[in-house]
Every structure is written in C-alpha cells, then in structure tokens.
Structure 1
Amino acid sequence: MARSHLTLAALATSAVDDLDLVASSSFGSQQNNEFDSALLTARDGRHLIIRVPRNERAEAEQSADLVALRAISAGVRTRLPFAVSTYVGQVPVSGTRGIVYEFVYGTKVGLGRLDAGPTGLAASIGASIAAVHALPTSFVADAGLPVMQASECLRAAVSVMDRASATSLVPPPLLGRWERATEDGKLWQFQPAVINNSLSADSFLSSDGVVTGLLGWQDLRVGDAARDLSWLLGAPEEVADSAFDAYHAVRGSGDRHLRQRAKLYAELEIAKWLLHGTETRSTEIVDDAVEMLSALVDSTLNDVMNPLNPQTMEVMAVEDVEALLDRTERAV
C-alpha cells in the first residue's frame, strides 16, 4: 500500500535535522510507480523530495543514483548548464530507506514535445548532453564508478547481439547488419567520455524551451558517448538533427561515427527487450520484440543510403534489396 504524503513528510523530518515543513503533497503517479514520493515545502522556502523504494530493484537504483550524486561535486556541477539534485538526508524505513533530495524545478520532457531548430528544446537537450560528455573523467574514476574503454563498449554490444542471436528470433538481415557494424574497426575508434548511460526524454526537465534539470544518474560511468544519444533517433529526423547539431557545436565533430554507433545502440535496445522477454518468460514481451524487429528489418533495408558503417558497407542495388525483402518475408 502506498504511503501517504503526510507519512512521507514525517519521515523527512526524521531524515533531516531541524527540518521545519509547512506543506506536503503527493508527487508522481501512485500507480505503476516504483517509489512512494512526496513534494515538501520547508519554512525557509526550500522545496524537497522524499522517495521511498517499493521493491528491491527500485532500492538498488536509488542506491546507485545516490553514489553518483555524491560523486558529482559542487565544482563539477558548475560545468553543467542545468541543475542536478542534491542529497539532503536519509531515514530507515521498513528494511529500506527514504532519501530526501533538493527539488529540481522544471516540467518533464516527452519525446513528442521536442521541437526542432537551433533554439528549440531538442537543441537544448543536445547541448546539455554535450556538457555532460565534456566533464573530466577523473571524478567518475575517483568515485569507483565504471570506466569503460572503447574495446569494452564494443564487447558489450557484441554480447547483446550474440545473446539475441541465440534466441533464433532475430531476422538474419538484422544480424548481418549488426555484425558488419561490430566488425568495422573505424566505427569503434573513439575517446570514451563521462556518460549518464540511461537517458531518455523522461530524464530531462525543462522550462521555456530550455533544459533546467537532468534526473536519474544511477548508471553514471565513462563510456561511449553514443549511448546517451541513441534515444534521440526515435524522434522525427529533423528533431534528431537539431539535437546532434547542437551537440557537435559544443563538442566538435571529431567522432565521425558517433551517429552510426548511436543508431546501432538504438537497434540493440530492441534486442535487449527481446532478451528481457525470454528471461522473464513473457510471451507478450517476446511477441512485441519480434514484431519490432520485423519492422526494423523493413525500415533499415529501405534506408540503404544510411547504413551503420557507410565506409565499409556496400550500397545494395534496388533489385538486391527487393530480393532480400522477399527472403525475409518467407523467413519470418
């Protein structure tokens, strides 16, 4: 049963010394939510959030997020154009713990709300991601968080591909596409950067078309910058273009294959969804993933001018594409 905001407010006063609250309210949806959360107003004008996990997965996520937030020092925060929540206190609660944070202002960003153009929200997101990637990697290593080299990022991608292949549910044209990308050495020549590693549209808060905050740091690490940009490829092309243009304006265009790797990661997310379905033995999830993979075959084969590794992949003739589509339909 969900805890009331009054109960959560009482817990917050136990977590933070001398906290004088004047108001509290429920925060977030009470259904399909892994946390009990409340928005708190202190007498000194501060706004705080308290979150209590409802299950072990949420507890692990909150613990990892807390480690990352503590690693992001005041000096690191000054390098970012948006706010990052700050830890205030904690209190034991029924075998877990409630964590109190400073509230970060802004409205949740949905993928459908992103507007294109150099001054749109997509551009602000692109510049914000670039600011994260420009941070010094030393603070991540000093906190004992993962530091991955380019070769390790490649191995992680190959592992997902191989495990998905073992299900025999991935269409052969997709496996071939992914294999060619992972075998292209040029694609994997990049300098690792500080990444959030779990970004989506819901990660961002905004106000007046500008990013004001970034939530969810539980997977903070040094790794492939393309990971943080892959979700943008689910938006309309002009929106993704605006985000990538703004990103490169901040970071430069030294990583020439950034977008190709981002596209590969986006496609492998469907493979991960398939693996999740097989691991949990969910027929519904597996069927959904298979349908998505089938649609991906059609979209990628029809987009022969934008392969994952354009330097080494040969552009297929139209008749070859049609023949491959026929074979795919028969196989599926």
Structure 2
Amino acid sequence: MARTPLTLAALSTAAVSGLDVIRTREHTTGQHGDYDAAVLSARDGRELIVRVPRTQAAETEQAADLIALAALSSGVRSRLPFDVPMVEGQAPFEGTRAVVYDFLAGAPLELGRVYGDVAVAAGNAVAAIHSLPTGFVLDAGLPQQSAEEAQRAIMAIVDRAQATGSLPAALRNRWYTAATDQSLWRFAPTVINGALSSDSLLVDGPSVRAIIGWSALSIGDPARDLAWVMGAQPDAAEAVFAAYGAARQAPADPRLQQRALLHAELDLARWLLHGHDLHDQAIIADAEAMLDQLVERVHQGGVDRLDQATGQVLDAAQVEQLLAQTPGGAPAGDHSAGLAPVEDENVDDQRSASSDDE
C-alpha cells in the first residue's frame, strides 16, 4: 500500500532532528513505482525529499545509493559541475527505512531535448564523472572492473540470454561477436555512475543542474554511462560524444560509441533476464517483443554495425520504442569489434536456433 505524503512527512521528522514541515506534496517521476516519495517544505526554507522503498530491489538499490553518496565527499563533489544529492537523515519504518535527501532543482532530461547547449552540457557532465580520481571509489570498497572483466560480464549476459531460449540468433551472433572482439575492449576503466539514464540528469534550461541515482557507482567501462545517449537523434548524440571527448583529459577511445550502442541493446537482454529472474511472464513477453523489433531493424540495416569505428546511431524513435520500457538504467547503463555478418534468418527461426549457435 502506498504511503501518503502526510505519513512520509511524519517519517521525515523522525529522520531529521528538528525538522518542521509546513507543506508536503507527492513526488513521482512516472517510472516504475519502486518508491513512495514526497517533497517537503520546511519552515527554515529548505526543500527536501523523502523516499521509502516499496520492493526488495528498491531497498537494495537505496542501500547502495547511500554508500555511494557517502563516498562522494565534499572534495569529490567540488570537482563536478552539477549537484549530487545530500542525505539529511534516515529512520526505520516497517522493516525498511525512510531516507531524507535535499531536493535538487531541475527536470529529468527528455531525449527529444538533447540538442545544442543541452547536448554539450550532458557530454561535459558525463566527462566530469569519468575524470574523477579513482581513489575514493577504491577507499569506499565499491566495485571495480577491468576491461577484461567488463568483456567477460558482457559475454555472460549474452550466454544467459541465450539460455532462456528467447534470444533471436541474429542478435546472439551480433552481440557475441562484439563481445569476443578483443579490439573492442581496449579501454581505460574510469569512475562511472554505472546506472546513468536520461532521467538521471536533471536539467534547467541548457544546464545540467544535478545527477541523481548513484547506486551503481564503481570503476568500469565509461561506455556504460553513455548508452542512454544512443536514444537521442543522431546529430544530437554526436554532439554529446563530441563534447564528452573534448572535455576528457585522456586519450581518445575510438570504440566508445560502439560499446555504448552494445550496452544500450543489451538493456533488452537485461530486461528479459529480469523477467526470468522474477518468473514474470508479462515482462518476458515484453522483452521478447522488443527483441523481435530490434532484430527486424538489424535485418533492415536500420541499426549501426558494431564493427564500425564511426557511423550513425540508433534513431530516437527506434530506441524510445525499444528501450523506454526497460528499467533505468536501474538499473544503468550506457562496442566496435570486427563482427561477422549477421545471419539473415527469420525471427521465428532464430529462437529455435539459439541453442545451435554455440
């Protein structure tokens, strides 16, 4: 049962000593309903937000987010050109906990608004994350993943998706060939948000004011944080990548865009696996339908090849249709190997052939 804003306001006063709430309103982003949340106006002029998990997955995510936000010290935050949530307090409630954060200004970035100065600001924001020193992540005991480990993790996702019997053979071939191409995985791991999506970026006009959702903070493949960009219009996506490249004080990564595309496509596989993990037939059917749409676009040449160092990105309508229903990131998450040509089977034949491709 959803908690009312008044209940959440009462919880916030238990979480934050001396807090005097004078006004409250329900807060929703229209996403997956994993949290009950309310925005609070305090007598001292502060605006806060209180969130209570509704699912075990949300509780786990919240716990990881708290660890990450604690690792993001004031010194680390000073290196970022945007705000990061501050935890004001927490209180136990019904076997979970209510957490109160400062409320950050800005609206979630819509993919259709990724152009011009917004695209540049988005590229700069991601570059700032990736330019952070890795020491604070290591000191906090947060995950770290080498390029080789990232490659193996991708291969594991493809193998698990294949084992469901729902992965079209053309996608299995496309992804597995990319996953096994050594040239695709020659990158320097960086600090990454790890679950970045367009909804994570809160914008105000042309500026990225804040980034929320840090539960997957780690050291890993920078392309993961750019997978969401593949849903923008091609010119806008190119502008984001150009701004990102100009802002990074590091050698160019010629395969960055292709790995970002691979991560974006694999969000469909992750959604499929999520459905199987929950034994949820509705999620499984949804994922299968989106995989079928993607494989049709592959056959029609409507999706960029993963073995090209440059090229067009996914059309916005295509990605929104395929990926808008997948968990964020979530979830999060942003591949240019020498790939073999994709087999030209029909979609109905591909699932039955999935076990024959090993």
* Bigger shift: residues 28-37 or 154-163: 28-37
User: CA offsets per residue over residues 116-142 of structure 1, 9 Å max, x none?
Assistant: 23x2x2221121111111111111111
Structure number with larger C-alpha Rg: 1
CA shift, 1:29, in A, is 6.1
The percentage of aligned residue pairs carrying the same residue is 45
Amino acid at match of 2:96: T
1:259 is aligned to 257
Q: Does the 8 Å contact 1:233/1:263 carry over to 2?
A: yes
Distance 1:79 1:109, change over 3 A: same
Distance 1:273 1:190 in 2: 26
Q: Does 1:309 align with 2:334?
A: no
Shift of 1:301: 3.8
- What stretches of structure 2 of length at least 5 have no aligned partner? 310-336, 351-358
Alignment-derived partner of residue 284 in structure 1 = 282
After superposition, the C-alpha distances for 1:202-221 in whole angstroms (9 at most, x for unaligned) are: 11111012110111101111
Q: 1:52 to 1:289 in 2, by over 3 A?
A: closer
Q: Is the 8 A contact 2:168 2:347 kept in 1?
A: no
The separation in 2 between residues aligned to 1:137 and 1:65, in whole angstroms, is 18
Partner of 2:334: none
Structure 2 CA distance for partners of 1:292 and 1:22, relative to 1, 3 Å: closer
Offset at residue 264 of structure 1 (A) = 1.1
Q: Separation in 1 of the partners of 2:108 and 2:304?
A: 32
Query: Is the contact between residue 22 and residue 43 of structure 1 (CA under 8 Å) also seen in structure 2?
Result: yes
- Give the TM-score taking structure 1 as reference length: 0.89
Pair 131,302 (structure 1): closer, same or farther in 2 beyond 3 Å: same
Q: Deviations over 1:43-96 (max 9, x none)?
A: 221111111222222211111111110100001111111100101111121222
User: More displaced, 14-23 or 266-275?
Assistant: 14-23
Shift, 1:196, TM fit: 0.9
Aligned length: 322
2: CA distance, partners of 1:304 / 1:29: 31
Counterpart in the other structure of 1:168? 165
AA matched with 2:107: T
Letter aligned with residue 102 of structure 1: D
> Structure 1 residues 16 and 328, CA, compared in 2 at 3 Å: closer, same or farther?
same
Please, which runs of 5 or more residues in structure 1 have no aligned partner? Answer: none
Q: 1:293 to 1:4 in 2, by over 3 A?
A: closer
**Aligned residues: CA RMSD:** 2.3
Q: Distance in 2 between matches of 1:9 and 1:143?
A: 31
**Structure 1 pair 284–90 and aligned structure 2 pair: CA distance change class (3 A):** closer
* Cα pair 2:174 2:339 within 8 Å, conserved: no
Q: Which moved more, 1:55-64 or 1:191-200?
A: 55-64
Moved more, 46-55 or 59-68: 46-55
TM-score by length of 2: 0.83
The corresponding residue for 1:59 is 59
Alignment match, 1:234 = 231
Does 2:94 correspond to 1:69?
Answer: no
**Alignment correspondent of 1:100:** 100
2:212 equivalent to 1:220: no
Instruction: Give the 3-state SS of the residue equivalent to 2:308 in structure 1.
Output: coil
Counterpart of 1:273 in structure 2 is 271
Identify the residue that residue 88 of structure 1 maps to in structure 2. 88
Q: Which residue of 1 aligns with 2:180?
A: 183
Q: Whole-Å Cα distance in 2 between the matches of residues 201 and 76 of structure 1?
A: 22
Matched position secondary structure for 1:218: coil
